Amino acid sequence: MSEEFQDKAKQYREMGKTAFIIGYTGECGKELVKALSKNRIFNKVVLIGRRKVDLTPDPGPEFVRDFVYRKVIDYDKLEEYTEAFQGAQVGYCCLGTTRGKAGKEGFIKVDRDYVLKSAEIAKSTGCQHFSVVTASSANKDSMFLYVKTKGEVEHSLKQMAFDKLSIFKPAMLLCERSERRIMEKVALTFMKPWICMFPTAGSVPTSYVGTAMVVDTVTPSEGNLRIYNNEQIHSVFKQNEQKK
């Protein structure tokens, strides 16, 4: 990482903060865990999910796979799990599914309702900075379900008045998925020439997203809202991955 980032990370680390991650088993979530493990900017990171998942390699002692009472959460009963969010000044949300996997109602529940309910609980328990991954095309007024749902999330989060809200809007995510998405694989095949010619326009590696979220965390903000489009995620990653 760049020398500038290292200086910021050191200053941030000295604050002794705690963070939580929801959606840590997804592709962006996994890369966020790796980036946090590598840079050690928190005293503790709580991984919140509906099931226990072992991480390989082990990310380090500040990562807590289970919260109070060693239980995983039920997203349909989030109000019963406020203890999972308590004590965290920073919250990361990489939660998401697909319509193909969860159906229309299931997609809305996971990608909008669970995200917003988690944010509400986090805000009520003292979270000051909330970071979320949405989509480059997010638009609450769209007629398309995916785009509309992501847009509704962004709109609602802006109304919650976090001290700092960071929204990451990646285009097509590039990664080696643990589960194959057929339509995504087909789209990627056709987009390969475009990606090669214009690497920052329509796609981004999930590792770039994870790193950009960490860089944003330690960077002092002007105002309470930061929005990163796909090109800016590329830029943040490349600027801060430079060696000393």
Token readout for 117 is 């309910």
| Backbone φ/ψ region at 73: left (φ over 0), alpha (ψ -120 to 50), beta | beta
Active-site position among 109, 140, 146, 158: 146
Active site residue 150: yes
Catalytic residue among 34, 123, 150, 169: 150
Nearest to 89 by CA among 163, 24, 167: 163
20: left (phi over 0), alpha (psi -120 to 50) or beta: beta
Residue with tokens 């050690």: 40
Question: Which residues are within 8 A (CB) of 236 and not within 5 positions of it... i.e. 6 or more apart?
Answer: 208, 211, 212, 215, 216, 228
12 included as an active-site residue: no
Active-site annotation, residues: 146, 150
